[in-house]
Amino acid sequence: MPTFKKLDDLGDIAGKVALVRVDFNLPMQDGAVTEDTRVRAAAPTILELSARGAKVLLLAHFGRPKGARVPDQSLSLVLGAVEKVLGKEVMFVPEVAGDVVKQAVGILGPGDIALLENTRFWPGEEKNDPELVKAIAANADFYVNDAFSAAHRAHATTEGLAHVLPAYAGRSMQAELEALEKALGNPVKPVAAVVGGAKVSSKLDVLKHLVSRVDHLIIGGGMANTFLAANGIDVGKSLCEHDLADTAREILANADASGCIVHLPYEVVVSKEFAANPPSLRTCNVHEVAADEMILDVGPAAVEALADALKTCRTLVWNGPLGAFETPPFDAATVALAKIAAALTADGSLVSVAGGGDTVAALHHAGVAQDFSYISTAGGAFLEWMEGRELPGVKALEV
């Protein structure tokens, strides 16, 4: 694993100013934060720096304001949720650089915390503009990146700052990297990957490289439909990207060449309408899907076959649910396989790692999230890590 500096490598930081990049891109509904997992993930780093006497300036993006001040994407909206998790008062500063931040630093005492405005209000953030990087860095002594989930992007506050200030990985970043390295850096074979979900086009790219790194590739969800169609199977009205058939066939050929066994569902759960427990619900062979039906889950017999394959494996990485798990009974395959993975993990025979917003939600729904070896907070970054790509935000921390 590449080496990077950690909070343990910081000397005396009492009175020093820390810029800490966190992921506070929290889900909101009607102006209220609905889920604070990401704040809880960053809390150990923030509280440790505060306890050691640093003045802590928090940097984060929120939504996609595309370089303009959008009032309903101000980070001030999450201030209350952040204070609640930290159990401390946090000052809000409506800038990321310049005199306003400088004055705030003057007011803060050792151990105090401030939340700066949404970094994406400035066009230089996503452009990784050296001028913006310099201006932000001017008010601080060192930089800590605790946002693994944003590390696949080379932005001013996820990458640029690491080049102009002494840079350290925060505790959550460190935990993500160590856990992923343990599971995937030198994984105990055989390795299985489960890839499902709906973002077919963005995930297909990942599979091209993944097949050479895993022994079993289990494909479910909308992803499976694209592969089935590429194999000439009629998938009816299913979510499917027909124009990616060539890519799908290329991936199957790559898998063949590298000895990776691909598991596509041979039995599926279908219905004519997408609703909970629809009257047209039935389970059938993949060759029997009617033109007016949709594949919405993997069938129970096919899940048993997947379970048998998983039992021969020692490492599992999972991104993407096997079916439309939010709508019963299309959660059945995902829940069943998740429970098997959890049991194998409890037996000590499997290291299981999962990532992705919906995947983690599905594992919580199955009641087994805490039984996995590791759950990543990241979606996109987790996938790129799985693929073996170098993440710019991580690379910049390397010493």
Q: Is 66 marked active-site?
A: no
392 binds, options ligand ADP, Mg ion, none, Cβ within 5 to 8 A by partner type: none
Q: Which long-range contacts link 109-112 to residues 24+ away (Cβ below 8 Å)?
A: 109/55, 110/14, 110/15, 110/53, 110/54, 110/55, 111/50, 111/51, 111/53, 111/54, 111/55, 112/50, 112/55, 112/56
Q: Is 222 marked active-site?
A: no
Which of the ranges 16-24, 111-119, 325-333, 358-366 carries the binding residues for Mg ion, by CB under 5 A?
Answer: 358-366
| Residue with smaller CB distance to Mg ion, 187 or 356 | 356
Tell which one of 95, 358, 371, 384 touches Mg ion (CB under 5 A).
Answer: 358
Residue nearest Mg ion, Cβ-based: 358
Which of the ranges 115-123, 128-136, 280-288, 352-360 carries the binding residues for ligand ADP, by CB under 6 A?
Answer: 352-360
Q: Give the ranges where the chain is alpha helix by DSSP (H).
A: 37-51, 79-86, 99-107, 123-127, 130-137, 161-164, 171-180, 200-210, 221-230, 245-257, 300-311, 332-346, 357-366, 380-387, 392-395
Does residue number 371 form part of the binding site for Mg ion (CB under 5 A)? no
User: Which amino acid, 66?
Assistant: K
b/e code 138-165 from CB counts within 10 Å (16+ = b): ebbebbbbbbbbbbbbbbbbbbbbbeeb
Q: Single out the catalytic residue among 124, 160, 379, 380.
A: 380
Does residue number 326 form part of the binding site for ligand ADP (CB under 6 A)? yes
Tell which one of 321, 376, 381, 384 touches ligand ADP (CB under 6 A).
Answer: 321
Q: Which residue is it, tokens 């913006």?
A: 132
Q: Which residue is it, tokens 């009617």?
A: 290
Shortest distance (Å) from residue 352 CB to ligand ADP: 15
- Dihedral angle computed from the Cα positions of residues 88, 91, 92 and 97, in that order, rounded to the nearest 10 degrees: -130
Pairing state of beta strands 32-33 and 28-29? antiparallel
In terms of Cβ atoms closer than 10 Å to its own Cβ (0-12, 13-18, 19+), residue 12 is exposed
Does residue number 170 form part of the binding site for ligand ADP (CB under 6 A)? no
Which of the ranges 5-13, 91-99, 343-351, 355-363 carries the binding residues for Mg ion, by CB under 5 A?
Answer: 355-363
222 binds, options Mg ion, ligand ADP, none, Cβ within 5 to 8 A by partner type: ligand ADP
In terms of Cβ atoms closer than 10 Å to its own Cβ (0-12, 13-18, 19+), residue 246 is exposed
Does residue number 239 form part of the binding site for ligand ADP (CB under 6 A)? yes
Structure tokens of 232?
């000439």
Phi/psi for 330 (5° steps) reads -80, 10
296 binds, options Mg ion, ligand ADP, none, Cβ within 5 to 8 A by partner type: ligand ADP
55 binds, options Mg ion, ligand ADP, none, Cβ within 5 to 8 A by partner type: none
Angle at 120 between CA 118 and CA 124, to 5 degrees: 130
Q: Is 38 marked active-site?
A: yes
Q: Single out the catalytic residue among 199, 323, 356, 379.
A: 199
Q: Which of residues 264-303 bind ligand ADP (CB under 6 A)?
A: 295-296
DSSP secondary structure code for residue 122 in this structure? S
Does residue number 199 form part of the binding site for ligand ADP (CB under 6 A)? yes
Tell which one of 125, 358, 371, 384 touches ligand ADP (CB under 6 A).
Answer: 358
Shortest distance (Å) from residue 228 CB to ligand ADP: 11
Cis peptide before 329 (omega within 30 of 0): yes
Structure tokens of 309?
């394959």
Shortest distance (Å) from residue 327 CB to ligand ADP: 7
Q: Which of residues 197-256 bind Mg ion (CB under 5 A)?
A: none
DSSP code string of 335-386: HHHHHHHHHHHHTTS-EEEEESHHHHHHHHHHT-GGGSSEEES-SHHHHHHH
x-or-dash string of contact with ligand ADP, 359-378, rule CB under 6 A: x-------------------
Phi/psi for 196 (5° steps) reads -145, -150
Q: Is 380 marked active-site?
A: yes
Which of the ranges 133-141, 173-181, 226-234, 322-330 carries the binding residues for ligand ADP, by CB under 6 A?
Answer: 322-330
350 binds, options ligand ADP, Mg ion, none, Cβ within 5 to 8 A by partner type: none
| Residue with smaller CB distance to ligand ADP, 76 or 285 | 285
The catalytic residue positions are 38, 199, 357, 380
- Which residues in this chain contact Mg ion in the complex, by CB under 5 A? 357-358
- Which residues in this chain contact ligand ADP in the complex, by CB under 6 A? 196-199, 221-222, 239, 295-296, 319-321, 323-326, 356-359, 379
